[in-house]
């Protein structure tokens, strides 16, 4: 059976609900993971998603900031909300999705952006980001016997040189500094994670998922970064059929600065 999953930092789910609905009608993924929903659980627009056939909804939200949501046409169980760095931010949830006879633990993450100054001694936001990465090193792709795993989200790091428009110019810019990129690569290696998007779109092909609102002509300038990721346990890698970045979504009406990333597996 084909299994399709998408991840999208939506930058306010209520503000951008019309484009989320349009995306679901056009692409119809089995599971959609949203980040930066900026919405407490009780105000999340669940009815709009259920009207489109997404009956299964897991939420970890807070007012005005952060927030993640996993929306599914397939049943899931065993909801877990992890409080990274023990400060009460709504930045993670996971569920165990039933995809045919296969069970898949889907982690939905929103890693802190880290502020503007890449020095943890003077910038507490950057320290928070590095601490968050350290805790992610404990996440194992094969943590549950008999259960595959997928980790998605706005991880706010572009780990490879070809994940940014200019490696040289961004080496001192938060999201592509060596301490961040090396930290993310450790998380992947130690956790046994496979980068599904780069498996399908191999280096050195340039690939971005985020373009700044500050750019007057985001498409023409094309100064993007690949901040949004889909990883999996090694057993799912051979089942990958396709991975796509929906670049055109950056030009939709009232867009997020991130675009959807979509993978399809043959299970």
236 in Cβ contact with 150 (< 8 Å): yes
Q: Which residues form the domain of 43?
A: 2-266
User: Which residues fall within 8 angstroms of residue 106, CB to CB, at 6 or more apart?
Assistant: 5, 31, 33, 70, 76, 94, 95, 96, 97, 149, 150, 152
Q: What is the DSSP secondary structure assignment for residue 205, as one 8-state letter?
A: S
Assign residue 83 the CATH number of its domain. Answer: 3.60.10.10
Q: How high is the pLDDT of residue 124? A: 97
> pLDDT value at position 78?
97
Q: Number of structural domains, the chain?
A: 1
Among 265, 262, 207, 266, which residue's Cα sits nearest to residue 26?
A: 262
**CA distances from residue 71 to 43, 126, 196, 202 in whole angstroms, order as listed:** 15, 30, 20, 29
Q: Is 114 left (phi over 0), alpha (psi -120 to 50) or beta?
A: left
Q: What is the pLDDT of residues 224-264, one digit of tens each?
A: 999 999 999 999 999 999 999 999 999 999 999 999 999 99
Cβ-Cβ contacts under 8 Å for 55 (sequence gap 6 or more): 72, 73
Predicted pLDDT of residue 181:
98
pLDDT digits (tens, 9 = 90+) for 47-71: 999 999 999 999 999 999 999 999 9
Contact 227/209 with Cβ under 8 angstroms? Answer: yes
Max Cα–Cα distance, the chain, nearest Å: 51
Q: Residue 223: which pLDDT band, with cuts at 50, 70 and 90? A: very high
Segment 173-185 mean pLDDT: 98
Confidence of residue 153 (pLDDT cuts 50, 70, 90): very high
């Amino acid at each position: 059976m084909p299994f399709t999953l998408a991840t999208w930092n939506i930058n306010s789910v209520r503000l951008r609900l019309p484009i989320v609905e349009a995306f679901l009608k056009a692409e119809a993924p089995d599971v959609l993971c949203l980040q930066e929903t900026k919405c407490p659980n009780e105000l999340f627009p669940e009815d709009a998603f259920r009207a489109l056939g997404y009956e299964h909804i897991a939420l970890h939200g807070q007012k005005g900031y952060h927030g993640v949501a996993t929306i599914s046409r397939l049943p899931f169980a065993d909801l877990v909300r992890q409080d990274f760095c023990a400060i009460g931010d709504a930045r993670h949830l996971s569920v165990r999705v039933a995809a045919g006879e296969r069970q898949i633990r889907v982690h939905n993450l929103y890693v802190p952006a880290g502020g503007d100054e890449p020095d943890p001694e003077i910038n507490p936001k950057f320290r928070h980001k590095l601490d968050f990465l350290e805790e992610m090193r404990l996440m194992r792709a094969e943590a549950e016997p008999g259960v595959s795993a997928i980790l998605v989200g706005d991880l706010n790091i572009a780990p490879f040189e070809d994940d940014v428009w200019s490696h040289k110019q961004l080496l001192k810019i938060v999201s592509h500094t060596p301490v961040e990129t090396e930290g993310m690569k450790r998380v992947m290696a130690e956790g046994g994670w496979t980068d599904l998007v780069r498996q399908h779109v191999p280096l050195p092909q340039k690939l971005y998922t985020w373009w700044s609102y500050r750019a007057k002509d985001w498409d023409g300038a094309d100064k993007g970064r690949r901040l949004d990721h889909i990883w999996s346990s090694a057993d799912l890698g051979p089942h990958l059929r396709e991975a796509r970045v929906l670049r055109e979504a950056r030009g939709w009406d009232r867009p997020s600065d991130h675009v959807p990333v979509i993978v399809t597996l043959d299970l």
